[in-house]
Amino acid sequence: MTNSGSSAKYLLEAKSLCVSIDNKNILSSLSFSVAKGEVYALLGGNGAGKSSTLKTFLGFNLPSSGKVLIDGDEVNESLDKVRRKTAYLPENATLYPHLTARENVEYFLSLAEISKSQSEIDKAFERVSLQNDARDKQLQTFSKGMRQKTAIALAILRNAPIFLLDEPTSGLDPVAIDEFNNLVRELATSGATVLMVTHDVYGACQVANRIGLLRHGELVGQFEAKQNEKIDTELVHAAFAQRQTSEV
Ligand SMILES: Nc1ncnc2c1ncn2[C@@H]1O[C@H](COP(=O)(O)OP(=O)(O)OP(=O)(O)O)[C@@H](O)[C@H]1O
Ligand SMILES: [Mg+2]
């Protein structure tokens, strides 16, 4: 079933999602939802199933049962439509190293048949704090943080309302992590919906409205930020480290 295009209550939904690859259960009965303007962090250790969850939202993995929905549409029934609404940042953002930041953005916008003026492009670079003198340098000279800023600027220019981020802060220094988390919060405040997967407890607590704890493909705990408060890092860390099971 697909909806007619009007906004669903949740922009991202996993409903009793099971994914098996080569007869191995990767995700088991996973259910969670992310509302517009929310940042949801899926937290889990290596091999917990975080990237597999994102890949299922992108239509690269097929559910063996259950489903994933983007803005009310079942992903595998409306691939083109849902991908247009989605900006995916893989762990290593795949832009072209020999093109400048500006050329990368122009190239991917032209592929998507989106036309933007130079001042709109500069405005997007400004929003992600990519410095003026970096914009016309080749990406191969960029740090990971700068490559990610370029990828986010592109997503902003594509007007993608949904961001899927795979370990966006791994390999960034603490200042770049703070800057990135602030940018994610700013995107959410202006209406974007974000699903990020990470094993960084502190970062997840800084940025997320809700955290789901994933272990062996199962959601074993959920944490929600109370109004104007952040999720308690100690509590999440303890649950992550299996010192307790939590349902908050
Ligand atoms: N294409 C595949 N074929 C076989 N097994 C896979 C495939 N993709 C994922 N898996 C397995 O699924 C499990 C979850 O992998 P996934 O990459 O989703 O974990 P992750 O939480 O993203 O881990 P990491 O923190 O290391 O990135 C792992 O056991 C992995 O080996
Ligand atoms: Mg992964």
| Among 52, 167, 220, residue to substitute to test ligand 1 (most atoms within 8 Å of Cβ) | 52
Distances (CA, A) of 92 to 40, 85, 169, 212, 216: 20, 21, 11, 23, 24
**What is residue 174's predicted lDDT score, i.e. its pLDDT?**
87
Q: For ligand 1, atom 25, which residue shows the shortest CA distance?
A: 46
Are the beta carbons of 12 and 33 closer than 8 angstroms?
yes
Identity of the residue numbered 206: Q
Ligand nearest to the CA of residue 46, numbered in listed order: 1
Range(s) within the chain of domains with CATH label 3.40.50.300: 1-85+161-248
Distance CA 184, CA 166 (A): 13
User: What is the reported pLDDT for 176?
Assistant: 84
Are 220 and 44 spatial neighbours (Cβ–Cβ below 8 Å)? Answer: no
Class assignment of domain 1-85+161-248? alpha beta
CA–CA dist 9, 34 (Å, integer): 9
Task: Answer whether residue 246 shows pLDDT above 80.
Answer: no
Distance from residue 30's CA to the centre of ligand 2 (Å): 16
Least confident of 17-31, 81-95, 118-132, 178-192: 81-95
Residues in the chain: 248
What number is the average pLDDT over the span 151-159? 90
- Residue-wise pLDDT for 111-134, tens only, equals 989 999 999 999 999 998 999 999
Which residue, chain included where needed, has tokens 């307790």? 244
Q: What is the pLDDT of residue 248?
A: 42
Closest to 154 in 3D by CA, of 228, 104, 85, 220 = 104
pTM (2 d.p.): 0.90
State the distance from the centre of ligand 1 to the C-alpha of 21, rounded, in angstroms.
Answer: 10
Q: Which residues line ligand 1 (CB under 6 A)?
A: 21-22, 26, 44, 46-52, 199
The most distant pair of C-alpha atoms in the chain lies apart, rounded to whole Å, by 53
